[in-house]
Structure 1
Amino acid sequence: MSSGRAMVDGRFELLEPLGSGGMGTVWRAYDIALHREVALKEVRAEGDTGSAQGDTGSAEQQRERVLREARALARITHPNVVAIHHIVDTPAEKHPWIVMELVAGGSLADKLAEGPMPPAHAAWVGRGILAGLRAAHAVGVLHRDVKPPNVLLRTDGSPVLTDFGIAAVNDLTGLTSTGSVVGSLPYVAPERLQGHEGNPASDLWSLGLVLFAAVEGYQPMRRDTDVATLAAVLMGSVPPPRQAGPLTPVLNALLVPNPGHRPPADQVDRMLAQVTGENPAEPPAFHQLSGPNRTVTAPREFLATPPPRPYSPQPPPQGFHAPLAYPPIPPDPVTDAPQRNSRPWIFAGGAVVLVAAAVAAIALWPSSSDGQGGAGQPPGRAQPSGIALPSGVIPPTVIAPTTAKSAATVDLLTPDGMRTAVAALEKVAGGKQFTETTIYPEYVITGAPVPNEPKHYDKFTYRNGAATHDGIGGRLTDPTIDLSSVNWDILPTLLATAAEQLKVPNPTSRYIIVDTAGTFTNGQQVLRVYLSTAYGDGGYVSAALDGTILRVYAK
């Protein structure tokens, strides 16, 4: 071709920039050898012309980031992760280039700029993002920068994860100094700011914030200043969603500050599938390949772009207590930056420690001597006082310690295990009614109505012999259940029936959901027993509260 446009490696003709940020530019380009359009990622080194930032690292670090991203992408073959074709790293070029597939539908940030998504649409996109993350995690790659600009959309709307430039790869040396954290601040998981890396649950936290932004129309952790945002992330307290509808349980499960309390990816996928109405035992339709361009099919109702629905902040529900009052942050609250490849934040360990110490002081501040909690708070939930916080930061709820058993952890999928857990949860929650509850062998996740505020609920966990209050949940829309009224003596028989009916060889995951809304049973409250393997084989058995088997769903 003789258009006079710039060429890379004598083969790739640069057509137009697709997005630019502090770490470089992504170009639409034409491969003159294979006669196809591709995406070329250029990463500018410090001091290059056009670089607006001088703190993105040395030239060698920038080169290594390019190679790191190429290595990370090369490990992953999945339709929801951008494919790498080639890498240009020759003396003739000032810096390396990554040649990737061209995803032509823009980014999720572009899509959300038109307005929030309906919950089912967001859940459908979320299943695709989650599938890409699971594929990456399976080969030892953590993304560490999941946010709307880093999710591209095909022309049918299906998502593609990109920008693995700061990914953590199991056998590759880190690129940041000891004690530093890399990522986009409003989407970074709290544990990463405390120096805990290498946990796939951190990517799930970021996914939860992407889904929150998709349905609510704003990023809940952003504040007026970086310091205030940092403090908000460290506290990990997310305001309750108001427009998420059936996606609310997914957000509440993912956006838990303790990474050990977040559900595993396979359960998150099942929860998202319930929101979309898809079969939870089957992958989303767009996971199937069809041709060299990996064409996929979205549900028909998602192909038409809904009319823009600008975010309109609503006042907090009357009587609902802190930490609900998070102010919306206009303008452009969803997109972390208008560029496709916006500059990640790099935090020095010392700064993180200082803010962590301040937040820790807040969390450990003793309650008032009269022994009374805040208004509407049951015994054991006290509010800190006397602490001056940065503007826009709401203090977290301080949880009074509970008595923990010193004995070894008991299997909670047993009658005695659940009776003990329910008694502890009732004591901390200050009541007997609970929301949908998920029971794992090691811990229980549930919610309970707020005393004197029956239209709202808080989140609770039971683990290692202790029940804890994990923070606010949101508006209560589904029926509740008295967990002590469940005949837990049926558990051994129910688990044996599930094993016999589902025929899952050597299940690696087993858990029970107490479905208070009767999602698949016309409103009848049931117990659903799930068994699955690491490869996704499995299913569930649904039973009435007296143990009567209602449905068996095996893949």
Structure 2
Amino acid sequence: MNAGGPVRRVIDDRFELVNRLGSGGMGMVWRAHDLALHRDVALKEVRPPDPALAENDPEAARLLRARVLREARALARLDHPGVVTVHHIVDGGEHAYPWIVMELVPGASLAERLAEGTLTPVEAAELGRGVLSALRAAHDRTSSSPSGTATEKAKEAETANEAKTKDLLTPAGARSVIAALKPVMGGNRVTSFSLYEEHARIEAPVKNKKGLYDVYAYRDGEATRERAGGTLMPGAKSVDLEKFDWDALPGLIRRADKALGVTEPTSHYVDIDPASPFDDYQPTLSVYVSDEYGGAYLRADINGKVLKKYPRNG
């Protein structure tokens, strides 16, 4: 019986919610206390923009859950001071959205800092370097070996190839990646494909091993299998990269630069979704554009027709 005090919310019989830290389009982040290890953590409660998504569109809800789990597991594999550590996933099963348990990082948000005034050039540069370093760790993560660390290998590769880097965000660049991947993967079908100016990250189904996927990378003209990925979520879709109209890519990038409110973009990348739950599960291509303050993106179909724009101030 409640004697009139506050109602306690304990997740998974272990994480007691203390107070809300913030919220966004995909959920809410709480400060929570780990009752087992006696420490405070950040707990992300995944909530779709449409609270009735699971009831109205069970397939979209399933795909959203699968994406959240995939991204959390990818984040958990990173070890970088600029990347929050994922401690645990509370997964209630296929009919529930997961909770993501992360380290609690003290400090104010960028929005709170900007509310106090404009960043100095030194502060902005330090922030940009930190973000860039974290992104490189995420994009270029490789297994360490006796010949050197992943960071050392990345620096050596950048130095040796700086003068001959080819922009992959062009029709010819994208097709060169696809051509290099085909003999390594044994085909063109992927479950995840992210293309950057200088490299690409890919996940693809394993040939003759249903339900499994491998992780691949492309850099400096070479496609390689990085590692075994794991088990695909039930019902996961794949798509043939050659089905996309890559000739439409330059126009999509120009449109993103002009229409999304990022006036001086510093980076771009492309992401393929084999079955977008927001577009009747058709394959889509998203073009992301960003600067030091954040980013925006637009989503198009395989023929380059823009389906939806998500501007910075939209």
Q: TM-score range by the shorter chain?
A: 0.5 to 0.7
Q: Distance in 1 between matches of 2:210 and 2:183?
A: 17
Match of 1:431 among 176, 184, 187: 187
Aligned to 1:499: 257
Task: Give 1:469 shift.
Answer: 1.2
Partner of 1:522: 280
CA deviation string 1:244-281 (max 9, x = no partner): 7332331453355797xxxx979x9xxxxxx89xxxxx
Q: In the alignment, does 2:55 pair up with 1:152?
A: no
Q: Which among 240, 261, 281 is matched to residue 482 of structure 1?
A: 240
Alignment of 1:95-174 (within 5 A): 111=14, 124=27, 152=40
**Code of the aligned partner of 1:152:** D
| Corresponding residue number in structure 2 for 1:322 | none
What is the rounded CA distance, in whole Å, between the counterparts of 1:151 and 1:246 in structure 2?
Answer: 28
Counterpart of 2:54 in structure 1 is none
Displacement, 1:425?
1.4
Q: Paired residue for 1:509, among 264, 267, 277?
A: 267
| 8 A contact 1:107–1:150 mirrored in 2 | no
Q: Is the contact made by 2:190 and 2:241 (CA closer than 8 Å) also made in structure 1?
A: yes
8 Å CA contact 1:108, 1:152 repeated in 2: no
Q: 1:131-530 alignment to 2 at 5 Å?
A: 152=40, 245-255=66-76, 360=146, 408-477=164-233, 478-530=236-288
Find out whether 1:548 has 2:305 as its counterpart.
Answer: yes
Equivalent position amino acid for 1:522 in 2: D
Distance 1:528 1:434 in 2: 15
Q: Distance in 2 between matches of 1:410 and 1:520?
A: 33
Residue by residue over 1:274-325, the C-alpha shift from the partner in whole angstroms, topping out at 9 and shown as x without a partner, is x89xxxxxxxxx9798xxxxxxxxxxxxxxxxxxxxxxxxxxxxxxxxxxxx
Gaps of 5+ in 2: 1-7, 17-25, 46-64, 87-96, 99-107, 113-142, 148-160
Alpha-carbon spacing, 1:484–1:151, altered in 2? closer, same or farther (3 Å): farther
CA contact (8 A) 2:196 2:268 kept: yes
Counterpart of 2:132 in structure 1 is none
Separation in 1 of the partners of 2:11 and 2:224? 36
How far apart, CA to CA, are the structure 2 residues paired with 1:110 and 1:458?
35
Q: 1:150 to 1:540 in 2, by over 3 A?
A: farther
Q: Distance in 2 between matches of 1:413 and 1:531?
A: 12
Structure 1 gaps of 5+ residues are 1-104, 114-122, 130-147, 160-243, 269-274, 277-285, 290-355, 362-404
Seen in structure 2, the aligned counterparts of structure 1 residues 466 and 110 have a Cα distance that, compared at 3 Å, is: farther
Task: Give the whole-Å Cα distance in 2 for the aligned partners of 1:258 and 1:514.
Answer: 26
2:157 corresponds to = none
Q: In structure 2, give the amino acid aligned to 1:428.
A: V
Match of 1:57 in 2: none
Aligned partner of residue 444 in structure 1, secondary structure:
strand
Residue in structure 1 matched with residue 290 of structure 2 by the alignment = 532
Q: For the residues of structure 1 that align with 2:188 and 2:271, how far apart are their CA atoms?
A: 18
Using the alignment, how far apart are the partners of 2:225 and 2:270 within structure 1?
Answer: 21
Deviation sequence 1:483-533 (CA, Å, 0-9, x none): 122211111111011111113121233211111121321211111111122
2:247 maps to amino acid? D
Q: Which moved more, 1:503-512 or 1:459-468?
A: 503-512
Q: Distance in 2 between matches of 1:409 and 1:258?
A: 27
Tell me the equivalent position of 1:68.
Answer: none
Supply the AA of the counterpart residue of 1:416.
A
1-structure distance, mates of 2:76, 2:263: 32
Structure 1 529/406 Cα, relative in aligned 2: closer, same or farther at 3 Å? Answer: closer
2-structure distance, mates of 1:258, 1:107:
28
Please state how far the C-alpha of 1:420 moved relative to its aligned partner.
0.8
Secondary structure (helix, strand or coil) at the match of 2:69 reads: helix
Identify the structure with bigger relative contact order (alpha carbons < 8 Å, sequence gap 6+): 1
Which residue identity does 1:254 align to in structure 2? L
Distance 1:252 1:440, change over 3 A: farther
1:505 to 1:406, Cα distance in 2 relative to 1, 3 A:
closer
Q: Secondary structure at the match of 1:551?
A: strand
* 3-state SS of paired residue (2:262): coil
Q: Rg larger in 1 or in 2?
A: 1
Q: 1:420 to 1:407 in 2, by over 3 A?
A: farther
Say if 1:413 and 1:453 are closer, same or farther in 2 by CA, change over 3 A: same
CA distance in 1, matches of 2:198, 2:30: 29
Distance 1:414 1:451, change over 3 A: same
Tell me the SS of whatever aligns to 2:204: strand
Q: In 2 relative to 1, CA 149–527 (structure 1 residues): closer, same or farther, beyond 3 Å? A: farther
Dislocated runs of 4+, deviation >4 Å: 105-110, 148-151, 255-259, 286-289
**Which secondary structure state, in structure 2, belongs to the residue aligned with residue 452 of structure 1?**
coil
Q: 2:257–2:265: 8 Å Cα contact kept in structure 1?
A: no
Q: Structure 1's 254 and 408: CA in aligned 2 closer, same or farther, altered over 3 A?
A: farther
| Contact 1:433-1:483 at 8 Å conserved across structures | yes
**C-alpha distance 502-553 of structure 1, shift in aligned 2 (>3 A):** same
Q: Percent identity?
A: 32
Per the alignment, in what secondary structure is the counterpart of residue 506 of structure 1? coil
Of Structure 1 and Structure 2, the greater strand share is in 2
C-alpha displacement at 1:128, in angstroms?
7.0
Residue 304 of structure 2 aligns with an amino acid whose one-letter code is G
Cα gap change, 1:472/1:257 in structure 2, threshold over 3 Å: closer, same or farther? farther
Distance 2:211 2:263 in 1: 43
Does the 8 Å CA contact 1:434/1:447 hold for their aligned counterparts?
Answer: yes
Residues of 1 paired with 2:30 and 2:291: CA distance? 20
RMSD: 4.3
